[in-house]
Chain A
Amino acid sequence: MALAFEGIIIYTAISCLGKSLFFAFWSIVIGFFGSILPIVALKSFYNGIKDDVKLFRELRMVRKRYGSDKEIQEDISRVKERIESLNSQLDKLNEEDNNLNELLSSINREILLLQKKLYVVKETFISSTFNVEGDRIDEKLNLEYEESHVEEKVQAIQDEDEKASLGKRFVVTKKLKVKHKSQLSLCFFYGKS
């Protein structure tokens, strides 16, 4: 119909071309819009009906699935309850996870402390015993002490401690005299000197 209308308009325009150029121009313009606009209107009308039919089908499907809107509301409340319970479970688990994280950090701190202590106890215990007999025990003991290079060992440990910033130590030197024998032992402990 639109094409027929367009044909009529174009025919009129061609026939009037010789008489008036103005009339011919307007004939073409009207012919153009006269053919385009009905097509657009029909298309939009068709699309609207198509959407309506689609929506109606969907609505009928919902209507068939549920007997009444109460059923849907019951389902909704059921799902909401389930979501709430799941959320509470999730909160509990997250709380437990946080507690475990705190516990883990404290355990890690304790392990570090223990490692430090172990390092102190393992690496820094030096004990030297010199058995000296006879006269002039003190002199002999001092000589043995100098020859053993204990002081150098002590210095090396203290240097390492300084590097690791473990604090200062104090040295306990113990001299034991048993009759004619004499013993000297050295122990290293942590302390505030």
Chain B
Amino acid sequence: MQNKFNRLIELLQNKMNSKKSERNSIMKRKNIIASNVYVLETDIKTENEKLKELESSLKKYKLYYFKVMGIVLYMILASFAS
């Protein structure tokens, strides 16, 4: 009877050890994921900043043409008036 119990104890301990090692591997994977998530979030942040910059550049580009056209129009009108 005692032998049976000892075998059962051994079995349970082996099972627990395997579960613990499984838990450790999961924790390792979780750590890797956390670091990857951090890197990705930083990348997304920088890309968003780049996008904002590009959008403001587009606005400025359009404004530049608008201003130049305004000056040209003003000069034409002024020459007509004179």
Chain B 3-15, CB-CB to A under 8 Å as 1, else 0, gives 0010011001101
Q: Indicate if the CB atoms of A110 and B30 lie closer than 8 Å.
A: no
Q: Indicate if the CB atoms of A76 and B2 lie closer than 8 Å.
A: no
Q: In the complex, A144→B51 CA distance in Å?
A: 88
Chain A 65-102, CB-CB to B under 8 Å as 1, else 0, gives 11001001101100110110011011001101100110
A43 interfacial by beta-carbon distance below 8 Å: no
Q: Indicate if the CB atoms of A96 and B33 lie closer than 8 Å.
A: yes
Q: In the complex, A87→B2 CA distance in Å?
A: 58
Closest residue of chain A to B2, judged by CB?
A: A127
A contact residues, range: 35 or more
Q: Indicate if the CB atoms of A89 and B40 lie closer than 8 Å.
A: yes
Task: Check A107/B22 contact, CB under 8 A, given A79-B50, A87-B44.
Answer: yes
Q: Indicate if the CB atoms of A76 and B47 lie closer than 8 Å.
A: no
Q: Indicate if the CB atoms of A107 and B26 lie closer than 8 Å.
A: yes
A185: which B residues are within 8 A, CB to CB? 1
Most buried by A among B9, B12, B62: B12
Q: Indicate if the CB atoms of B33 and A72 lie closer than 8 Å.
A: no
Chain A 86-129, CB-CB to B under 8 Å as 1, else 0, gives 11011001101100110110011011001101100110010100
A63 interfacial by beta-carbon distance below 8 Å: yes
Q: Indicate if the CB atoms of A90 and B26 lie closer than 8 Å.
A: no
**A117 contact from B12, B30, B34, Cβ within 8 A:** B12
B51: which A residues are within 8 A, CB to CB? 76, 79-80, 83
Given contacts A72-B58, A108-B23, A187-B1, 17 further A-B contacts (CB under 8 A): A58-B60, A60-B64, A62-B64, A73-B58, A76-B54, A83-B51, A86-B44, A87-B44, A90-B44, A93-B40, A96-B33, A97-B30, A107-B19, A107-B22, A111-B23, A118-B12, A127-B2
Question: Which 6 pairs across A and B sit closest by C-beta, in order of nearness?
Answer: A59-B64, A114-B16, A72-B58, A62-B60, A79-B51, A118-B12
A sample of 25 inter-chain contacts (CB < 8 A) reads A56-B64, A59-B64, A62-B64, A63-B64, A66-B57, A69-B58, A72-B58, A73-B58, A79-B54, A82-B47, A86-B43, A86-B44, A87-B44, A89-B40, A90-B41, A93-B37, A97-B34, A97-B37, A101-B30, A104-B27, A111-B16, A118-B12, A121-B8, A121-B12, A125-B5
